[in-house]
Structure 1
């Protein structure tokens, strides 16, 4: 049952109430992203994807390589889900989320399961390369991405650079939300305020592209660690935060939101068709070699970032609509299979690389695609399910006491 609270409104003559609602489509979208990331990594490890002097294995290899478009979904969903209550407070005048419970919720959701992976990876996959306590401590604190030598003590943890970016965003979000609250001004029109928020967020997209340019400079070399630092991915977070602001504004007054979001609200299948078209363009790779995972040049890197931003925007937007979602979207994203995959998606993300190491001992030439895919997917589902019920779920139950929120996932909306 959703709980309803009365909070002060911008207009005292129209008091607003809020409620927390569960949107299973958001869970399904997270499951889709996790499956995409797992599949592209298996494609790389099985040699289907081109790398160095090895060519991609036909059209399937090209498609597998560009399933990397799944990665931005995680960042955009985080930006949308975590900023939405702050955006609603700014636009509707409701009480702002308390920072301390928010940080507790984020810590309880991410760290316990991650620490289990670190313990296993350090004990069984990296033990011979550990030469000091700091090499372990930095992994525990998600700081390994900031030291250039950390890749030598990161087997089974390679994908967690994205978690380091997420955690940095969690820490900065209250400050970002406060700044956006000031920027939005005091206009009575939520459409005006949401446009101001969008203009401010566009600066983060520019910062992301600027950082991408820096990481692509020849002086940085190939595969620089700085490519995995948070500033490069600010644009994806900003897209999610922008969708949060638009969703909150549509919750208040649908007619006042920008026209492009009204189109997205009315044409969810059009959005997904646009996302599919962007994916096809990314597969063709107008700048770069299709199906190859080699580090791109500057033009290729910037093009890829632009396409991934567009893909993430179009695929996530339909599940941000506050009310009246498409029946097709609901059926596609909230069926039992997608909801289950969404529920265990964090474990799928955490464990699939370690399973490849345990199966083959390396991320390279780890066997035939279908054999490796079966092993990785099956093993990941088993470990992710165990992680959810034995680690994540018990930790999330502490949210009711430490995080001042229900254990289940929900989104704050205006009560109608």
Structure 2
């Protein structure tokens, strides 16, 4: 990570492994979406029924990372009884993180490449739905990332942008939740309990929306189900909103609270058995979601992501070096992919659409999938690297920094995903 944009977190060092987790999330989402090019036969088989859905769980990891990285500074400040981070600085930094790269890629994909959704994802990949977005109202709504609040604009524009709307809503909610926790502390509630309240509330809300959605979906036919979840409907607005993903952010917030509590209590070492338990728990959660509870795979993947995140960021020794799992994720190529992961996330589907429309893909069989992944990566990685160095990094250098370097209430960079 660039030292000019990433000050030290509350452990007294940069959180090693975070970029590696971002890389894993971005590559898994890319591989999942490459699966869109596969044949119906592939989608009906084990690759389409199990492997691709599991690969698609990079998005919950992105949301969990957001919950962790953004809530941690506020939780740390409240636990120490210090002043909360500047809301103005926080808002400025969030805008600089999300909008510059998004606006560039959205404009190029929608106006120059003609590789965005014109109506919505439920209308397929044909020329009547994938092309240049020239409708003024829809273009402006997408540029401002408010299109997901408007039923007739749902899932139009850049395919992954729906998740950015949910992410930005979470950005707005974080200071509100911090003020709520601060109010509870003033009323005499223990600090740890007060900080757990917003995380628990998000988990309950997210799971509640998920259970409601799946309960209703059981009574719908296929076409009705698609419109219900992704069509131009108010139910799609709800299910794709921050509320529909709230538990994923909540898991990240819970992980952040665990980290700052351990730090405040002087815990500088978490043993290997505990780390193995966290990794095993993450694997078990993912298997459970991919097994008999496939409709709730994303919810289980959120739990798995939080457990894996803790295994990565919790220190295994009293020195400043990363633990072994984090050290693997710090390998330079992995870390570089993590640095450019936000641009990878934004670029990959327009590139996939561009290849599909020109019939430049390798094929549609299961054996062709890895070759298509390599093909897409061969275009997306250079594009994303250029976008990172030309747009993302300069924008991040404009972020206002806290006045005191010793203040742990500092946010890391947070990309979003699909």
Query: Do both proteins adopt the same fold according to a TM-score greater than 0.5, normalized to the shorter chain?
Result: yes
| Distance in 2 of aligned mates of 1:264 and 1:67 | 30
| Superposed CA offset, 1:357-380 (max 9, x none) | 111129999743123211211111
| Distance in 2 of aligned mates of 1:314 and 1:61 | 25
Note the C-alpha offset of 1:20: 6.5
Note the C-alpha offset of 1:310: 2.1
Note the C-alpha offset of 1:331: 1.8
Structure 1 residues 317 and 50, CA gap change in structure 2 (3 angstroms): farther
Alpha-carbon contact 1:84-1:412 (below 8 Å) kept: yes
Structure 1 residues 83 and 144, CA gap change in structure 2 (3 angstroms): same
Residue matched to 1:146: 149
| Superposed CA offset, 1:10-31 (max 9, x none) | xxxxxxx979732231111111
Alpha-carbon contact 1:360-1:366 (below 8 Å) kept: no
- What does 1:9-408 align with in structure 2 at a 5 Å threshold? 21-47=13-39, 51=43, 55-56=44-45, 58-59=46-47, 62-123=50-111, 124-125=113-114, 126=116, 130=133, 132-150=135-153, 153-154=156-157, 157-185=158-186, 192-216=190-214, 217-218=216-217, 221-223=224-226, 224=229, 225-226=236-237, 227-254=239-266, 267-283=274-290, 285-287=291-293, 301=295, 303-321=296-314, 324=317, 327-361=323-357, 367=364, 368-399=368-399, 403-405=400-402
Structure 1 residues 160 and 322, CA gap change in structure 2 (3 angstroms): farther
| Superposed CA offset, 1:127-152 (max 9, x none) | 86646311100110111222333357
Aligned-partner SS, 2:160: helix
Structure 1 stretches of 4+ with a deviation exceeding 6 A read 17-20, 262-265, 362-366
| Superposed CA offset, 1:308-327 (max 9, x none) | 23212211112332673763
Structure 1 residues 103 and 62, CA gap change in structure 2 (3 angstroms): same
| Distance in 2 of aligned mates of 1:175 and 1:152 | 28
Note the C-alpha offset of 1:205: 1.1
Structure 1 residues 388 and 306, CA gap change in structure 2 (3 angstroms): closer
| Distance in 1 of aligned mates of 2:340 and 2:41 | 27
Note the C-alpha offset of 1:265: 8.2
Flag structure 2 segments of 5+ consecutive residues without an equivalent: 119-130, 230-235, 411-418
Name the Cα RMSD after superposition.
3.4
Note the C-alpha offset of 1:348: 0.9
Residue matched to 1:293: none
| Superposed CA offset, 1:231-277 (max 9, x none) | 0111111111111122111111057x9xxxx9788622321222223
| Distance in 2 of aligned mates of 1:68 and 1:168 | 22
Aligned-partner SS, 2:151: coil
What TM-score comes out, normalization by structure 2 length?
Answer: 0.78
| Distance in 2 of aligned mates of 1:342 and 1:66 | 20
| Distance in 1 of aligned mates of 2:176 and 2:41 | 40
Aligned-partner SS, 1:24: coil
| Distance in 2 of aligned mates of 1:90 and 1:345 | 31
| Distance in 2 of aligned mates of 1:326 and 1:49 | 44
Alpha-carbon contact 1:72-1:312 (below 8 Å) kept: yes
Structure 1 residues 348 and 212, CA gap change in structure 2 (3 angstroms): same
What TM-score comes out, normalization by structure 1 length?
Answer: 0.78
| Distance in 1 of aligned mates of 2:356 and 2:15 | 39
